[in-house]
């Protein structure tokens, strides 16, 4: 059995002149060497070779199609556009890999990748045909086909197929999480919209000398209440006032703060100040 030497450090008691202290002691020990994982090595080798094929294909296609397009446009623009032909199907394969646990959604990038490959191969062959080297054009087109085929095989080596029931379970859990993630920007947009509407109403009421609140009394505030100066009122103070008034919901606090400030309050800023109050 193969072994390897490792160092192990531990605290051991050491006594000098009757006084004991814990000191570090270094010990070299032999531990069994785990067997080589040939499957992992082969899988990594396949991935590296697939990346090499894709790189070669991208370089060849860019050079070939760039030379073809340079007949009509500036060379820099032509070669820049040439990158797009192979980059298109490479992009589709990357998206297909990300959606490997969602077969239905992966169908679209898979089909788009096949069509992008056909277009790229046709353009490479057209370049060879126009230059009178149709054999070179056909061989160059085959480079993209080999690269895509090699990457497809590499993806299969890394794939972890799911049985139908597990796939349905994953799809439902993902849908639930995606719904929660989608609601985050929706709620923020609604809060900002409501705050802007209230701020607009307050601004119009201030211009006309009236009140934006239909439930407010025409007689104004009681004589023993000192009105708040909005020019000196900060968001932090407005959040504190709303908290002391018993308002706990974040959306309600944002609306209350916006009304007190006379402008739209940032939901993120309000939430930060609310966390201070909740932790107190």
Same domain, 184 and 75: no
Same domain, 54 and 87: yes
Same domain, 54 and 144: yes
For 66-83, give the secondary structure using H, E and C: HHHHCCCCCHHHHHHHHH
Question: Is the confidence at residue 22, as pLDDT, over 70?
Answer: yes
Same domain, 15 and 49: no
Contact status, residue 211 vs residue 205, Cβ threshold 8 Å: yes
Structural domain contains residue 171: no
Predicted confidence band of residue 57 (pLDDT cuts 50, 70, 90): very high
Distance CA 13, CA 8 (A): 16
Backbone φ/ψ region at 17: left (φ over 0), alpha (ψ -120 to 50), beta:
left
Same domain, 184 and 149: no
Same domain, 154 and 188: no
Tell me what pLDDT residue 103 has: 80
Distance CA 185, CA 268 (A): 12
Handedness of CA 61, 64, 70, 72 (dihedral sign): negative
The four Cα atoms 9, 15, 19, 21 give a dihedral, to 10 degrees, of 0
How do 19-32 and 3-16 pair as beta strands? antiparallel
250 alpha carbon, distance to own chain's centre: 26
Structural domain contains residue 84: yes
- Please name the residue that has the structure tokens 């701020």: 199
Domains held by the chain: number = 3
Distance CA 140, CA 151 (A): 17
Tell me what pLDDT residue 220 has: 47
C-alpha to C-alpha distances, 272 to 184, 224, 248, 278, nearest whole angstrom: 16, 32, 13, 10
Structural domain contains residue 37: no
3-state helix, strand, coil in the chain (%, to 5): 70, 10, 20
Mean pLDDT along residues 79-86: 91
Predicted confidence band of residue 231 (pLDDT cuts 50, 70, 90): low
pTM, entire model: 0.57
Q: What are the start-end ranges of the E strands in 83-177? A: none
Distance CA 88, CA 58 (A): 10
Structural domain contains residue 169: no
Does residue 264 sit in helix, strand or coil? coil
Same domain, 125 and 208: no
Backbone φ/ψ region at 220: left (φ over 0), alpha (ψ -120 to 50), beta:
left
Structural domain contains residue 115: yes
Mean pLDDT along residues 48-61: 92
Predicted confidence band of residue 31 (pLDDT cuts 50, 70, 90): confident
100 alpha carbon, distance to own chain's centre: 17
106 contact partners, CB below 8 Å, separation of at least 6: 95, 96, 99, 100
Tell me what pLDDT residue 217 has: 44
Same domain, 71 and 97: yes
Same domain, 54 and 122: yes
Tell me what pLDDT residue 219 has: 47
Backbone φ/ψ region at 246: left (φ over 0), alpha (ψ -120 to 50), beta:
left
Mean pLDDT along residues 184-204: 86
Same domain, 69 and 114: yes
Same domain, 26 and 80: no
By C-alpha distance, which of 92, 78, 76 is closest to 127?
78
Domain that holds residue 16: 3-32
Same domain, 25 and 50: no
């Amino acid at each position: 059995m193969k072994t390897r030497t490792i160092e192990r450090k531990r605290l051991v008691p050491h006594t000098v002149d009757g006084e004991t202290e814990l000191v570090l002691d270094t010990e070299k020990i032999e531990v069994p060497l785990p067997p080589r994982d040939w499957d992992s090595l082969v899988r990594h080798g396949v991935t590296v070779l697939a990346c090499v094929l894709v790189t070669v294909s991208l370089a060849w296609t860019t050079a070939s199609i760039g030379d073809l397009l340079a007949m009509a446009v500036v060379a820099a623009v032509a070669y820049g556009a040439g990158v797009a032909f192979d980059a298109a199907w490479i992009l589709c394969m990357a998206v297909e890999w990300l959606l490997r646990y969602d077969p239905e959604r992966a169908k679209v990038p898979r089909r788009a990748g096949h069509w992008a490959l056909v277009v790229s191969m046709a353009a490479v062959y057209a370049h060879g045909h126009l230059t009178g080297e149709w054999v070179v054009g056909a061989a160059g087109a085959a480079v993209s086909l080999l690269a895509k085929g090699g990457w497809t095989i590499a993806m299969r080596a890394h794939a972890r197929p799911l049985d139908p029931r597990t796939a349905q379970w994953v799809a439902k859990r993902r849908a639930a999480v995606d719904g929660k993630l989608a609601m985050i920007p929706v709620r923020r947009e609604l809060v900002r919209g409501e705050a802007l509407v209230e701020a607009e109403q307050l601004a119009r009421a201030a211009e006309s000398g009236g009140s934006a609140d239909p439930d407010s009394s025409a007689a104004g505030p009681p004589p023993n209440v000192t009105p708040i100066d909005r020019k000196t009122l900060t968001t932090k103070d407005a959040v504190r006032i709303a908290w002391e008034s018993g308002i706990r919901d974040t959306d309600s606090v944002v609306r209350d703060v916006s009304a007190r400030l006379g402008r739209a309050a940032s939901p993120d800023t309000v939430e930060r100040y609310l966390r201070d109050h909740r932790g107190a």
